[in-house]
Structure 1
């Protein structure tokens, strides 16, 4: 039996993790996802959905959009952002991760995940 609703396509995840939200539809451009990730008033599910869609997309623009989210107010989102940066293992994120790790005002779970992400990059810095 066919559904009357159209199925939205999402990017296939190259990661073996189980994300806490389904990635947003792949039709959205990275710049729009970046705007969502900067919106401290956006619902958590929408933030996570944008984060995972951008993560799955990859590339320099996606990494930049994710790093921008480290400036949000939500420690919960920043924790997930640092986890995602660890999955991506991009050298260009090292400075942002070190900044999160060294920030004594940052939530301990965010700092912990930043340290884990740095360890997963496994490159000299």
Structure 2
């Protein structure tokens, strides 16, 4: 049985309910699972639709090289434009290293969103 959990009174109620079921129905294996009550956010499941790729977060993205077939595939839980600016500046970035080692240019203007997620855990799986 699934019951909403609101406070300690729920636990007392379940103890009394289990005792009643066990004493009257010997063959019944009775268990209770608690469920959190609905939050306000659950009534408004939709976020504003973000138009540009640079403003999206929780995405898997692809950056292509303009001069060769090299690609960089990454994930970002933050706003993508912040992560891209890090790729451009940081000498530790694979994109920046490719540019400095080969003299090529990464195509930061045409970043492809491969997939998106609604939680960080789902993003890591993708």
Q: Which has the larger radius of gyration?
A: 2
Q: TM-score, normalised by structure 2?
A: 0.22
Q: Which has the higher contact order (CA 8 A, sep 6+)?
A: 2
Structure holding more helix per residue: 1
Structure holding more strand per residue: 2
